[in-house]
Structure 1
Amino acid sequence: MNENDFSSYLVNIQKQFFSGVPVTEISLKDICFEITEENEAKLIDGTVNHPIILKYPVKYSYQTIFLKKLLSILESGSTSSEIADTIYEHYVRVLNSKSDVYYKHYYLNHNDIITLEENPNLISDGTTGLCTWQASLHLAEWCIQNNHLFDSKNIFELGSGVGLLGIVLSKKTTAKEIWLSDCHSQVLNKLCKNIKLNTTDYKIIDEIDLEQFDLLKSGRTLLKAVSDGVEGQKTFGVKLFDWVDVSTPGLFSDLFCDYVLAADVVYDSSVFEHLLRNAETLKSFLKTIEQTESLHYRKLDCVKPKVLFWNQDTPIELYAVYSRRRIFIDYGVPRNDTKRNYYGGHLI
C-alpha cells in the first residue's frame, strides 16, 4: 500500500474510531496488509494515542476491543514487519484505564473535530437524549451539503440532545442565530457543556445555573453566546422547551425562526400530538399532512455521507413539507432493535 492510499485509509478509520462506530464494522484488514512499522505508529497515533482521544477519551472498553482486533490481524501474519512494542503498551494502558465520563468525536476535517460528551448507553436516566443518533448525523450531513439555505437565517432546533446538529450548523453554515432546545435536565446540562467545549470563538453573555432547573419555565434562555465574524454578529444559545407547553401564549415572543429543525424526535408516539397533533407513526404523520389544507409534502432524495460517517444500512426517507409561511422537512428512520418500529426525523 502506497503512502497516499494509507493516508486515505487512516482518515476513514479515524472517522469511525473517533465516533465509536462498532469495531466489527471497521475494516482494519485493508490498512494492515503489508503495513510498515512506521505506519503502525501512525495508525496508533491517529487513534488511541491521538491527543484528542487522550484528553477526551472514547469509552475505554471500546478502545480495548479496537486494539485487540488490530493485534489479532497483525499477529495473523498479514505483515512482514515486527509488531511495534508500543501497540502492546497502549493495549495494557487502555485495559487498565477508567473514566466516569466518555466522549465521541465527529471528524469534519483534519483541523476541525467536534467533541461531544455522551453517555455510552442509548437510553439512560429515562431519556434517549444523552447520545447522538443516526438521524442526527444524516440531518447534519444534509445541512452541510445544503448550507446555502441557512445563510443569515435564524434556526431553532427541537430535542437537541447532546448538540451535534447545532454545533455543525455553527461551524458549517453562516446562520445568523442558532437556538437549541430540550426539556430534560441532564440532557441540557450536557448540551451546554458541549456547546462551550466546541465554540471557543463565541463569547458567553448569559448563562443560567442548572441547579435551579426545577424552578425554570419553558422558553427560558439557559445559555447565550455571540461571535463577531466577517458575516456580522452570530448568536448561539440554548432554551428550555417542553413540547407540552407549545400553546403557551408568548412562549417565544422574543424569537423569530426561519427554520425549525429536529432529528430523531418522533420515536415515542406520545409526543406526536404536541408535534403535529397526531398519535400514529410516520404513515399517519404524512396522512395528517394530506388532510391539512394549508400543508403539502413531497419526497426528497437523501444524501450520501461526504463529511460525517454513519451506518448507511439505516433506512431513511426524506420529505419536504410546505406551508404558506415555512418549510418542514421530515425523514422516517425505522428502528427495529427494540422490537418496535420507531421513527426519527428532522424538520425544517
Structure 2
Amino acid sequence: MMECAGSNKNVPSRKQNRVDILKQFQSRFFATSRLVSFPWTVLENDLELSKSSDVILEILKQTCLHALCRKFPPSPRYRKCFISELIRRVESAGCEPLDELYDALAEVVAAQDVTEGYRTYLLPRGDGVSLLENVALISEGTTGLVTWEAALYLAEWALDHPQTFAGRKVLELGSGAGLTGVVVCHSCGPSSYIFSDCHQSVLQRLRDNLSINGLLNNKTKTTRTEVSVQELDWTDMTEERLKEFSVEVVIAADVVYDPDVVVVLVQFLSKILKCSRGRVPAEVLICSTVRNPHTYAGFKHSLSDAGIGHRVMSGAVNHVFEYNRESEIELVQLYACQ
C-alpha cells in the first residue's frame, strides 16, 4: 500500500511537468526561438522514464500540426530543423518511431524555401500576435522587417504599465514589424496610435501585419483604438506637423544603433519636446539593446548636449515573450531640461 501511495504521489508532478514541457515548446516554436533554447534535457528525461513517443506526438500537435501553424506557419527551413531535432531525440531515446513526425518532415522538405515566415508571440491570456517577418536580419537595405529584442522588452513593459497608454494618443517611431504597437493597442487601450517608419518595404509589411492582427481592416477590427500608419522621415518632420499629431506618448525601440542615425534622432526628439512646451509634456520612452556601448554612450551625450535629460526606468518586467535576454536592454524616459 505504501508503495502505491508513493507512486500516486508522483503522478500530479509528472503531469504538471508534461504541461510545462508542452507550453515551453509551443511558445518557443511559434516565436522561432533558437533550437538550443528549447528544454531538450527535460524532454530527454521524460522519454527515458516513459520509453514512449507520446510526449513527442503531443509536442507535434501543439506546434507543426496546430491550427495556428497552418494559418501562420514559421518558415519551412525552421520547421524542418525543428522536426529533424525531434526525430533525433526519439531515435536517441530508443523510442518507437512516429509516422506523424516523418509525414510532417516530408511536408516541409517539399515546401519551397522562402525569405520570410510568421512569428507568433503568445500573450499570457492565450492569444498571440502573429507577424510576417523576414528570415534574414537585414534585407532590402533595412533592419525593420524583423522584430528585435528591445521591441519585445518594451511590449512587456507596456503590459506591466498599461496606465501609461490608456486613453492617450501614442506615436511610435521606427515601428518596424509592429510588435510593440500591436501589443499596446490590444492590451493597453490607447485612444489613438500612430505607427511610423520611413522605409517603403517596412511600411507595407507593417500595414499587412496590422491587418493580420485586426487593427486596420474595418471588417475585422478588434479594438476601439484609432490606428494609422505614417511615413515619417525624421529629417523632414516640421514642428507644425508634430503639433498636428498632438501626441501624449512617444515610444521607440531599437532606434539607437548607428552614430549618424543618433544625430538625426536627437534633433527630432528635441522638436518633440519643444512642441510639448506650454501644455502637458509628451512622455517620451526610448528602449535600446546596448550592442555597442560606445554608440549608446554617444546617444546619451547627444541628448545632454541638446538639453534633454533622461532617467533610466529600472525594475524587472514580467517575462512574457520568448527572446534572447543575454544582451543588455535599457529603457529611458526623456524630458526637457529647464
- What TM-score comes out, normalization by structure 1 length? 0.78
Deviations 1:286-312 (A, max 9, x none): 22333455x322333253452112111
Name 2:314's counterpart in structure 1.
301
C-alpha contact (below 8 Å) 1:179/1:236 kept by paired residues: yes
Measure, in 2, the Cα distance between the counterparts of 1:321 and 1:252: 17
Deviation at 1:150, TM superposition (A): 1.2
Name 2:107's counterpart in structure 1.
93
232, 239, 258: which one aligns with 2:248: 258
Give yes or no for the alignment of 1:239 onto 2:230. yes
Measure, in 2, the Cα distance between the counterparts of 1:267 and 1:275: 11
Give yes or no for the alignment of 1:164 onto 2:179. yes
Measure, in 1, the Cα distance between the counterparts of 2:208 and 2:138: 20
C-alpha contact (below 8 Å) 1:28/1:70 kept by paired residues: no
Distance 1:99 1:110, change over 3 A: farther
C-alpha contact (below 8 Å) 2:214/2:222 kept by paired residues: no
Name 1:313's counterpart in structure 2.
326
Deviations 1:19-50 (A, max 9, x none): 11111222223134334443322200111111
C-alpha contact (below 8 Å) 2:159/2:187 kept by paired residues: yes
Name 2:204's counterpart in structure 1.
189
Amino acid at match of 1:25: S
Q: Which runs of 5+ in 2 are unaligned?
A: 1-12, 269-293
- What TM-score comes out, normalization by structure 2 length? 0.80
Give yes or no for the alignment of 1:82 onto 2:96. yes
Aligned partner of residue 193 in structure 2, secondary structure: strand
Measure, in 2, the Cα distance between the counterparts of 1:74 and 1:37: 7
Deviation at 1:318, TM superposition (A): 3.0
C-alpha contact (below 8 Å) 1:130/1:161 kept by paired residues: yes
Deviation at 1:117, TM superposition (A): 0.7
Measure, in 1, the Cα distance between the counterparts of 2:21 and 2:203: 36
Amino acid at match of 1:134: E
Name 1:289's counterpart in structure 2.
303
45-54 or 157-166: bigger deviation: 45-54
C-alpha contact (below 8 Å) 1:227/1:235 kept by paired residues: no
Amino acid at match of 2:266: L
65, 72, 78: which one aligns with 2:88: 72
Name 1:60's counterpart in structure 2.
76
C-alpha contact (below 8 Å) 2:312/2:331 kept by paired residues: yes
Q: Which runs of 5+ in 1 are unaligned?
A: 206-224, 326-348
Amino acid at match of 1:235: E
Q: Which runs of 4+ in 1 moved over 4 A?
A: 225-228
Distance 1:265 1:189, change over 3 A: same
Amino acid at match of 2:327: T
Deviations 1:216-274 (A, max 9, x none): xxxxxxxxx9767xxxx42111111011112x353244311111111111212222222
Measure, in 1, the Cα distance between the counterparts of 2:218 and 2:242: 21
Distance 1:288 1:7, change over 3 A: same
Deviation at 1:14, TM superposition (A): 1.3
Name 1:42's counterpart in structure 2.
58
Structure with max Cα Rg: 2
Deviations 1:72-109 (A, max 9, x none): 111111x6x52322112111211221254421111114
Measure, in 2, the Cα distance between the counterparts of 1:249 and 1:171: 30
Measure, in 2, the Cα distance between the counterparts of 1:289 and 1:119: 32
Amino acid at match of 1:170: C
Equivalent pairs counted in the alignment come to 296
Q: What value does the CA root-mean-square deviation take over the aligned residues?
A: 2.5
Measure, in 2, the Cα distance between the counterparts of 1:263 and 1:71: 38
C-alpha contact (below 8 Å) 1:154/1:175 kept by paired residues: yes
Name 1:178's counterpart in structure 2.
193
Amino acid at match of 1:283: A
C-alpha contact (below 8 Å) 2:137/2:143 kept by paired residues: yes
Measure, in 2, the Cα distance between the counterparts of 1:197 and 1:124: 22
Measure, in 2, the Cα distance between the counterparts of 1:286 and 1:11: 40
Name 1:20's counterpart in structure 2.
32
Measure, in 2, the Cα distance between the counterparts of 1:110 and 1:38: 27
Deviation at 1:320, TM superposition (A): 2.6
Name 2:134's counterpart in structure 1.
119
Amino acid at match of 1:169: V
Deviations 1:126-165 (A, max 9, x none): 1111111111111111111111211111110001011111
Measure, in 2, the Cα distance between the counterparts of 1:290 and 1:249: 21
